[in-house]
Chains A and B, each alone.
Chain A
Amino acid sequence: MISKVLVANRGEIAIRIFHTLREMGIRSVAVYTEVDSRSLHVRSADESARVENYLNTNEILRAAAETGADAIHPGYGFLSENGAFAEACEQAKLTFIGPRPQTIRRMGDKLESKRVMKEAGVPVVPTWDGEPPASAYPVLVKAVGGGGGKGMRLVEQPGDLNEAKAAASREAAKAFNDDRVFVEKYIRNPRHIEFQVFGDTLGSVVHIFERECSIQRRHQKVVEETPSPAVSPELRAKMGAAAVAAAQAVGYIGAGTVEFILSPDGQFYFLEMNTRLQVEHPVTEMTTGLDLVREQINVANGKPLSIKQTDLRQSGHALECRIYAEVPEENFRPDTGPIAVYRPPTGPGIRLDSGIEQNSEVGFHYDPMLVKLIIWAPTREASIERMQRALSEFVLLGVRNNMEFLHRVVSHADFKAGKIDTHFLERHAELRKPITNDVPLEALLAASLSSSDSRGARTTNGTTMTFDDVWQSGAWRNS
């Protein structure tokens, strides 16, 4: 049985995993790089070990050996979908909490994963090597070697295909050293619907319902929820069965997510499979009462899944907002600095997965996500009201962030009506800016009173000066 887990990750997910380990009586080890030495996650585990880099397999294995860990939890991102890392853990006789290395490799290859799905009878977005039929348009030319929008071109009509392929190929060669491109059907106004799946070592696979993640910016998710307002019970059964078939096709072990796109006509297509725990897993936990990390550890210990498909039920509605250290009003530029005031919301139906606290230093080295704010309520409408309340009660000062933007997003009539798709944020670009420039009197007063405070402002070189000192000294002289 696993007795000590090293979490090869940082921030909120590391802390979240430590919580479950503690509940299960399993010792925990945090790893940290130099810039993270004072981060909250380091203090949240039983032990900690310094590493040069979260992405360095040798460093992680060395830390595991030094601390006597017998298992590794990779979290999400970093090494979580690295087949070579999973294999190295096995070779070092460490239990890798996740699927087998060959599963990670297979699902990590975009073309291979689609081939596997097609064989398993899971619908995939139609692709062509050569020329698609005229009826298939519009189509997307995409790079084989990578994503993120590079080497991608939208083609509305057959006449434009060759030029688009040439341009995409040139871009792909530069970005991925691989000029191969393929053509895929373009789904207009798609919704991103993903299914949580879970498999154990005895061959059982279940799905734990869907999450809708359509509110995205540049392929980065911002708001997620479950259940999806676009998924009827019949569609859920069909997509769930497809997700289970997908997982079974590769003998999936552990937690995974099958991502689909849902087109407005009700057709769904496999997009990709993520062989790890997802950032947005809390919304699934809130509506099912499950602890997915606990299930991961039980499966890694060889135990059967504690849940049967026929027993699984969802209750109520869960919404998650990702709070980022970004300034939407200034084109989402990142911000850094110390958290001066941190007062998260409390009350019924609120869960916070946070990597920061008062005085935490937010840097630029890692992902700018600060906190996940997760809300549960009996209905979707009530969950939106609760999210509005929670966002407005959350005081987070010192680092600019997107909370006001998130409030505007969930308050938008189309969001409330469930009229969303992956182009929502582009379509409603006005949401970046506040609705009004007006600042109420009390805010002006609060700012002005605080600027008279003798404690003064911190300068960029760390000395403290009051606005009074500076005003009087004439240093703000016009030249």
Chain B
Amino acid sequence: MTGRELHWRIQERDIVVRVEEANGNGVLRVNDRAVPFVVRDKTSSGGWLEIDGRNHQFFVSRTANHVAVWIDGHTYVLERIEKGRLLEAASTEHSSGEIRALMPGKVLRVDVKAGDTVAEHQTVVIMESMKMETSLTAPRAGKVTSVHCKPGQTVDMGEILAVIQS
């Protein structure tokens, strides 16, 4: 059986899960429990599984580090984390420390300039979108190598606003 370990964060709670599965049969290990399961059908958007003696239809949708699961009439949103830290949005795997706009909107404030040293979680840019303010923070401590926006500028989702080298 192939086994994998996944770390999930659900509403500030972290859960570690081990899944072993071969040919549709497997074991789920969570919190010292080992629960057998059967995968009856699986596609990229969902499937059927049997666990604890009950059948469950489910649907899933994934973005870079979130998974939304509908099962038994409820929707859960889980974040993938790595050993206690939030996985960065996939964009950062190309070059660490790219601060990107999470939504389209307007830049309100830029709190850093090139050459500044920043601490982990320090606010770099404050944006506004649909009347909500969002603070974009440094994922880890480092130095600001470049700033690509200024207050008042309209930006698209995913646009790079600043780059931090760690």
Contact = CB atoms under 8 A, between A and B. Distances in A.
Contacts of A404: 74-75
B140 interface: yes
Interface string B73-95: 11111101010010111110110
Given A392-B74, A444-B30, A459-B90, A329 B60 contact: no
10 contacts: A341-B46, A341-B60, A397-B59, A398-B68, A437-B10, A442-B56, A444-B17, A444-B30, A446-B69, A476-B87
B158 A460 contact: yes
A438 to B, nearest CB: 9
B72 A458 contact: no
A448 B28 contact: yes
Contacts of B13: 437
A451 B62 contact: yes
Contacts of B54: 442
Contact of A451 (B6, B59, B142): B6
Interface stretch (B36-44, B110-118, B145-153): B36-44
Interface in B10-48: 10-13, 15, 17, 19, 21, 28, 30, 33, 35, 37, 39, 42, 44-47
A459 B91 contact: yes
B49 interface: yes
Interface string A424-445: 0000000001100101111111
Nearest to A340: B61
Contacts of B90: 457, 459-461, 465, 470
Given A442-B71, A447-B76, A479-B140, A397 B61 contact: yes
B158 A445 contact: no
B60 A439 contact: no
Contact of A450 (B37, B62, B77): B62
B64 A449 contact: no
Contacts of B123: none
Contact of B19 (A396, A403, A452): A452
Interface string A321-334: 00000000101011
A333 to B, nearest CB: 5
A460 B89 contact: yes
Contacts, number: 179
Nearest to B89: A460
Nearest to A365: B104
Interface size class of B (residues with CB under 8 A): 35 or more
Contact of B63 (A334, A447, A457, A470): A457
Contacts of A341: 45-46, 59-61, 70
A441 B52 contact: yes
Nearest to B70: A395
B63 A452 contact: no
Given A437-B13, A450-B62, A444 B28 contact: yes
A269 interface: no
B63 A458 contact: yes
B112 to A, nearest CB: 18
Interface residues of A, number: 53
A336 B87 CA distance: 20
A467 interface: yes
A334 to B, nearest CB: 5
A476 B87 CA distance: 7
A309 B69 CA distance: 49
B52 to A, nearest CB: 7
A439 B78 contact: yes
**Interface majority SS (helix, strand, loop, mixed), chain B:** strand
Nearest to B104: A364
A68 B3 CA distance: 65
Contacts of B91: 459-461
A393 interface: yes
Contacts of A433: 11
A54 B97 CA distance: 39
Q: Give the most central of A395, A443, A479: most B CB within 10 Å.
A: A443
Q: Give the most central of A329, A368, A444, A452: most B CB within 10 Å.
A: A444
B51 A441 contact: yes
B69 A334 contact: no
Contacts of B21: 449, 452
Nearest to B55: A442
Given A400-B77, A451-B6, A479-B140, A444 B60 contact: no
A446 to B, nearest CB: 4
Interface in A334-355: 334, 336-337, 340-341, 343
A453 interface: yes
A444 B15 contact: yes
Given A450-B62, A475-B93, A444 B104 contact: no
A395 B73 CA distance: 8
Interface in A384-439: 392-393, 395-398, 400, 403-404, 433-434, 437, 439
A303 interface: no
A232 interface: no
Contacts of B77: 400
Nearest to B18: A448
Nearest to A453: B44
Given A336-B103, A449-B19, A449-B39, 4 more contacts: A445-B19, A448-B4, A460-B91, A476-B82
B132 interface: yes
Contact of A479 (B58, B73, B96, B129): B96
Given A336-B103, A341-B46, A434-B11, A441 B93 contact: no
Given A336-B103, A397-B70, A461-B91, A449 B42 contact: yes
